[in-house]
């Protein structure tokens, strides 16, 4: 496994590089932790977004959601699982050579390109970026494999869409390598949404230990369903793809209590 050392980008170019790195990292560390929103809280991640320049992040509860590892510049969304590997919907994937544009938690833009692709048997395409991203762009952990997936039913999840917004749904079922969601009829948190054409590949997360854990990327609409990233079969194929594309990286897993 490669040991990578990444420095946050400096906020002010005129100050010494070492001091800039410290300021930028401190700025990242001072951001709020993820938490579920109040009912009807605004769902937008950005208040101003452009793929061509730095973005302005929205305030409110989404400021606590680290979306720096999700490339929203194209409806064919790509999500980081290592500093150099992304996952997408296999049926709605970017192509080799396509740009992939991320914005960190302070809205700073980073551009990479798809260098290679490898499909799994489920609706997952693993992509290799031409260069790794620095630590300011978050690689999401996957859920640890557990025989107790029934315990996750009815728990809230954060669901993203092509319009760069976040919604709260509930887990409806997990069967093998597939997870399905349902709307929260109680409206306890934020908003819900019926996913539509163009939302495929957008990621869904749970909060565990103060971080977002990647649960799913959308295959179907409505409340949403797709491959379950906590399934042993799904993780095995992702690991195989990563090894073939660049064996110097590994996925990280996190137990969801």
Listed in sequence order, the residues at least 6 apart from 241 whose beta carbon sits closer than 8 Å to its beta carbon are 85, 118, 119, 120, 126
How far apart (Å, rounded) are the C-alpha atoms in residues 235 and 80?
A: 15
Please give the DSSP secondary-structure letter assigned to residue 29: H
The three-state secondary structure class of 49 is coil
How far apart (Å, rounded) are the C-alpha atoms in residues 191 and 117?
A: 34
CATH of 142-232, one of 2.40.10.10, 3.40.50.12780, 3.40.50.2000, 3.50.30.10: 2.40.10.10
- pLDDT value for 30: 82
pLDDT in tens, 189-221: 999 999 999 999 999 999 999 999 999 999 999
pLDDT in tens, 81-99: 999 999 999 999 999 999 9
pLDDT in tens, 151-185: 999 999 999 999 999 999 999 999 989 999 999 99
- pLDDT value for 28: 55
User: Can you give the residue ranges of every domain in the chain?
Assistant: 142-232
Pick the more confident residue, 146 or 4: 146
Mode of pairing for the β-strands spanning 166-175 and 178-182: antiparallel
- pLDDT value for 120: 98
Average pLDDT of span 135-141: 98
pLDDT in tens, 16-30: 433 444 444 445 558
Predicted TM-score (pTM) above 0.85: yes
- pLDDT value for 17: 36
């Amino acid at each position: 496994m490669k040991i990578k050392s990444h420095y946050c980008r400096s906020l002010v170019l005129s100050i010494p590089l070492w001091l800039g790195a410290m300021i930028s990292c401190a700025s990242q560390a001072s951001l709020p932790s993820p938490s579920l929103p109040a009912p009807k809280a605004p769902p937008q991640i950005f208040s101003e977004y452009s793929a061509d320049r730095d973005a302005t992040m929205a305030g409110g509860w989404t400021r606590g959601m680290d979306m720096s590892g999700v490339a929203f510049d194209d409806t064919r969304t790509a999500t980081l699982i290592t500093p150099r590997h992304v996952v997408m919907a296999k049926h709605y994937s970017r192509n080799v050579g396509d740009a992939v544009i991320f914005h960190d938690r302070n809205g700073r833009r980073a551009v990479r390109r798809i260098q290679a692709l490898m499909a799994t048997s489920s609706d997952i395409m693993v992509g290799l970026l031409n260069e790794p991203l620095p630590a300011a762009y978050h690689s999401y952990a996957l859920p640890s494999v557990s025989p107790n997936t029934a315990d996750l039913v009815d728990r809230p999840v954060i669901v993203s869409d092509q319009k760069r917004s976040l919604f709260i749904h509930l887990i409806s079922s997990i069967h093998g390598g597939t997870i399905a969601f349902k709307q929260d009829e109680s409206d306890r948190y934020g908003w819900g949404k019926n996913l539509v054409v163009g939302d495929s590949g957008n990621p869904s997360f749970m909060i565990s230990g103060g971080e977002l854990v990647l649960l799913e990327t959308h295959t179907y609409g409505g409340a949403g369903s797709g491959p379950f990233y906590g399934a042993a079969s799904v993780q095995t194929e992702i690991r195989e793809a990563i090894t073939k594309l660049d064996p110097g990286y590994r996925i990280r897993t996190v137990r969801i209590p």
